[in-house]
C-alpha cells in the first residue's frame, strides 16, 4: 500500500436565503430550491461560513437560510487503485458542533471543467434517499481544528472510476435529512479555505498500479526465460 495527499482543486459556497412577513416552509422553499441566492468561488485564503441552517423571526420578518460547501479534487496524480480516503477540513471559530454530511455533487461542470460556482449548482447534491449513496459524515463538527470524514465505499468507487472527487458538505440533521429547523435555530459552520499550511485535503491510501508487459525491457513473450526459469516451472516458485 502507498499513501498520498491531494489538496482541494476547487472550493466554494452556495447560499440560499428567503425572507417574508409570513412563516416560511424551510424545507420546500429554502432547502429544496432549484437555485441559490448567491454563489462564492473561493480563490484566496479566507474564513467563510461553509454550512448553515437558519430560521429566525425578527422585526416582523421571517428569515430562512441554507449554505452548502462544494469541493472538487483532481485525482489524476494517484498512481493506482484507491482503497481508503479521509476528507480533512479545517473549521473556523466560533462555530457550532452539529453533524456534517458529505454527499456526491454535480457542481463544477460535473468533472471539474467549470471552475466557477453558479447559483444553479445549489441543488446539484444527493440528499438522503435520492440514490442511496453518501460519502460519509462526522458527528459533532469541531471548531478551530481539522474535521475528518472517513469516505465511504460509494466515494471510493466513484474516485476510482472517475479520477476525481466531486462532493458537497451539508448540515446533516436538517439539510441532508430534509427536516425543518424550529423557529429560532441558527447553526453555522465556518471553514478556513485555502490555508497554505492546513489546506482542505484528501489523505489517500492506494495500491500502486502494476507494471506493463515489458519489465525493464523484457517482452512478455520472453518472461518465461528470465534467469533460465521455464514457464512450466514458474508455478513451483516459492511453493506456489
Q: Is 152 helix (H, G, I), strand (E, B) or coil?
A: coil
- Residue 230 — pLDDT band, cuts 50, 70, 90? low
pLDDT at 168 over 50: yes
- Residue 217 — pLDDT band, cuts 50, 70, 90? low
pLDDT at 235 over 70: no
- Calculate the alpha carbon distances from 98 to 46, 52, 69, 160, 231 in Å: 22, 10, 15, 30, 61
Question: 38-41 and 46-58: which strand pairing?
Answer: unpaired
pLDDT at 214 over 50: no
Give the list of residues 6+ apart from residue 201 with CB closer than 8 angstroms, or none.
5, 6, 7, 8, 87, 88
Domains in the chain: boundaries: 2-209
Give the pLDDT mean for 120-140. Answer: 82
Beta-carbon count within 10 A of 39 CB: 19
pLDDT of residue 131: 54
Q: Is 109 helix (H, G, I), strand (E, B) or coil?
A: coil
Helices (H) and strands (E) in the chain, counts: 1, 12
3-14 pLDDT, tens digit per residue, is 999 999 999 999
- Residue 115 — pLDDT band, cuts 50, 70, 90? very high
Rounded to whole angstroms, how far apart are CA atoms 172 and 139?
A: 9
pTM of the model: 0.85
140-165 pLDDT, tens digit per residue, is 888 778 999 999 999 999 999 999 99
pLDDT at 78 over 70: yes
Residue given cell 482543486 in the structure block: 9
Amino acid at each position: 500500500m502507498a499513501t498520498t495527499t491531494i489538496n482541494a482543486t476547487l472550493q466554494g459556497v452556495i447560499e440560499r436565503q428567503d425572507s417574508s412577513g409570513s412563516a416560511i416552509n424551510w424545507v420546500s422553499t429554502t432547502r429544496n430550491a432549484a437555485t441559490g441566492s448567491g454563489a462564492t468561488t473561493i480563490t484566496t485564503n479566507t474564513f467563510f461560513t461553509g454550512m448553515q441552517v437558519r430560521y429566525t423571526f425578527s422585526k416582523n420578518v421571517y428569515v430562512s437560510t441554507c449554505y452548502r460547501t462544494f469541493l472538487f479534487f483532481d485525482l489524476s496524480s494517484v498512481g493506482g487503485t484507491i482503497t481508503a480516503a479521509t476528507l480533512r477540513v479545517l473549521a473556523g471559530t466560533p462555530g457550532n458542533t452539529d453533524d456534517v454530511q458529505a454527499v456526491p455533487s454535480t457542481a463544477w461542470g460535473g468533472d471539474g471543467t467549470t471552475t466557477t460556482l453558479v447559483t444553479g449548482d445549489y441543488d446539484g447534491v444527493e440528499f438522503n434517499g435520492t440514490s442511496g449513496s453518501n460519502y460519509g459524515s462526522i458527528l459533532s463538527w469541531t471548531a478551530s481544528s481539522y474535521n475528518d470524514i472517513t469516505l465511504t465505499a460509494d466515494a471510493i468507487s466513484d474516485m476510482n472510476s472517475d479520477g476525481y472527487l466531486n462532493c458537497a458538505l451539508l448540515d446533516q440533521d436538517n439539510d441532508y435529512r430534509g427536516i425543518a429547523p424550529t423557529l429560532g435555530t441558527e447553526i453555522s459552520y465556518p471553514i478556513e479555505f485555502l490555508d497554505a499550511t492546513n489546506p482542505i485535503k484528501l489523505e489517500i491510501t492506494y495500491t500502486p498500479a502494476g507494471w506493463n508487459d515489458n519489465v525493464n525491457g523484457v517482452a512478455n513473450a520472453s518472461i518465461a526465460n528470465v534467469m533460465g526459469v521455464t514457464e512450466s516451472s514458474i508455478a513451483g516458485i516459492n511453493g506456489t
